[in-house]
Amino acid sequence: MAVSNPTKERFINEVIGDELKAELQSLSALIDGDVLTDLSRRLMYATDASAYRELPLAVCRPRHENDIAELIKFAVRNKITLIPRAAGTSLAGQVVGRGLVVDISRYMTQILEVNEEENWIRVQPGVILDDMNKQLKPTGLFFSPETSTSNRCMMGGMVGNNSAGTHSIVYGTTREHTLSVRMILSDGSIVEFGPLSTDAFKEKCELKSLEGEIYRNTRDLLSDKENQASIDAEFPDPRVVRRNTGYALDELLNSPEFKGQEAKYDSFNFCRLIAGSEGTLGFMTEIKLHLDPLPSPHIALVPVHMDSVMEAIRGNLIALKHSPSAIELMDQIILDLTENNISQRKNRFFVKGHPGAILIVEFVGDTQEEIDGKISRMKADFKSAGIGYHFPVVAGSDISKVWNLRKAGLGVLGNMRGMPNRYL
Ligand SMILES: Cc1cc2nc3c(=O)[nH]c(=O)nc-3n(C[C@H](O)[C@H](O)[C@H](O)COP(=O)(O)OP(=O)(O)OC[C@H]3O[C@@H](n4cnc5c(N)ncnc54)[C@H](O)[C@@H]3O)c2cc1C
Q: Which residues pair with 268 in a beta bridge?
A: 196
Separation of 232 CA from ligand 1 center, angstroms? Answer: 28
pLDDT of residue 424: 43
Residue 143: C-alpha distances to residues 108, 140, 184, 315 (Å): 19, 11, 24, 29
Which residues, in sequence order, are CB contacts of 155 under 8 Å at separation 6+? 86, 123, 124, 125, 126, 127, 129, 132, 143, 287, 289
Separation of 95 CA from ligand 1 center, angstroms? Answer: 9
What domains does the chain contain, in order, with CATH numbers? 6-103 (3.30.43.10), 111-293 (3.30.465.10), 298-414 (3.30.70.2190)
Return the residue whose CA atom lies nearest to atom 3 of ligand 1: 148
Instruction: State which of 72, 89, 128, 193 you would mutate to test the pocket of ligand 1, scoring each by most atoms of that ligand within 8 A of its C-beta.
Output: 89
Asked if residue 412 has pLDDT above 80, the reply is no
Separation of 157 CA from ligand 1 center, angstroms? Answer: 4
Work out the mean pLDDT of the chain and round it to a whole number. Answer: 91
| pLDDT band (50, 70, 90) for residue 1 | very low
Asked if residue 192 has pLDDT above 50, the reply is yes
Instruction: State which of 59, 90, 403 you would mutate to test the pocket of ligand 1, scoring each by most atoms of that ligand within 8 A of its C-beta.
Output: 90
Asked if residue 335 has pLDDT above 80, the reply is yes
Across the range 234-262, mean pLDDT stands at: 90
Separation of 376 CA from ligand 1 center, angstroms? Answer: 38
Which residues, in sequence order, are CB contacts of 416 under 8 Å at separation 6+? 337
Return the residue whose CA atom lies nearest to atom 17 of ligand 1: 89
Distance of alpha carbon 256 from alpha carbon 262, whole angstroms: 8
Between residues 16 and 351, the one the model is more confident about: 351
Return the residue whose CA atom lies nearest to atom 51 of ligand 1: 89
Across the range 12-31, mean pLDDT stands at: 77
Separation of 107 CA from ligand 1 center, angstroms? Answer: 18
Judged by average pLDDT, the poorest of 9-18, 368-377, 398-407 is 9-18
Residue 142: C-alpha distances to residues 96, 120, 126, 151 (Å): 31, 9, 17, 14
Return the residue whose CA atom lies nearest to atom 4 of ligand 1: 148
Which percentage of the chain shows pLDDT scores above 70? 92
Asked if residue 237 has pLDDT above 60, the reply is yes
pLDDT of residue 24: 83
Between residues 9 and 253, the one the model is more confident about: 253
Within 6 A (CB) of ligand 1 lie 48-49, 83-91, 94-95, 104, 125, 147-149, 153-154, 156-158, 160-161, 163-165, 278-279, 283-284, 410-411
Which residues, in sequence order, are CB contacts of 360 under 8 Å at separation 6+? 301, 302, 303, 304, 326, 327, 328, 329, 330, 402, 403, 406
pLDDT of residue 26: 87
Separation of 150 CA from ligand 1 center, angstroms? Answer: 10
Strand order in the sheet with 178-184: 111-115, 120-123, 283-290, 178-184, 190-193
Asked if residue 242 has pLDDT above 90, the reply is no
CA dihedral 405, 410, 411, 414 (to 10 degrees): 140
Return the residue whose CA atom lies nearest to atom 44 of ligand 1: 279
pLDDT of residue 133: 98
Separation of 153 CA from ligand 1 center, angstroms? Answer: 6
Pick from 269, 258, 264, 263: which is nearest to 224 by CA?
258
pLDDT tens digit sequence for 99-116? 999 999 999 999 999 999
C-beta of residue 208 within 8 angstroms of C-beta of residue 305: no
Distance of alpha carbon 266 from alpha carbon 195, whole angstroms: 9
Asked if residue 296 has pLDDT above 50, the reply is yes
Distance of alpha carbon 70 from alpha carbon 72, whole angstroms: 5
Return the residue whose CA atom lies nearest to atom 27 of ligand 1: 157
pLDDT of residue 257: 93
Separation of 333 CA from ligand 1 center, angstroms? Answer: 24
pLDDT of residue 423: 46
Across the range 76-92, mean pLDDT stands at: 94
Distance of alpha carbon 60 from alpha carbon 99, whole angstroms: 11
Q: State the chain's maximal CA–CA distance in angstroms.
A: 73
Instruction: State which of 54, 65, 148 you would mutate to test the pocket of ligand 1, scoring each by most atoms of that ligand within 8 A of its C-beta.
Output: 148
Across the range 221-245, mean pLDDT stands at: 91
Helices (H), 254-327: 256-259, 271-274, 309-320
Asked if residue 339 has pLDDT above 90, the reply is no
Per-position DSSP letters for 324-375, written without gaps between them: -SEEEEEEHHHHHHHHT-HHHHGGGTT--S--SEEEEEEEEESSHHHHHHHH
101 DSSP 8-state letter:
E
Distance of alpha carbon 402 from alpha carbon 132, whole angstroms: 23
pLDDT tens digit sequence for 248-259? 999 999 999 999
pLDDT of residue 36: 93
| pLDDT band (50, 70, 90) for residue 418 | low
pLDDT of residue 5: 56
Separation of 156 CA from ligand 1 center, angstroms? Answer: 8
Separation of 186 CA from ligand 1 center, angstroms? Answer: 22
Separation of 160 CA from ligand 1 center, angstroms? Answer: 7
Asked if residue 208 has pLDDT above 60, the reply is yes
Across the range 49-66, mean pLDDT stands at: 94
Judged by average pLDDT, the poorest of 13-17, 22-26, 133-137, 268-272 is 13-17
pLDDT tens digit sequence for 122-166? 999 999 999 999 999 999 999 999 998 999 999 999 999 999 988
Model's pTM, two decimal places?
Answer: 0.91
| pLDDT band (50, 70, 90) for residue 245 | confident
Instruction: State which of 163, 171, 274 you would mutate to test the pocket of ligand 1, scoring each by most atoms of that ligand within 8 A of its C-beta.
Output: 163
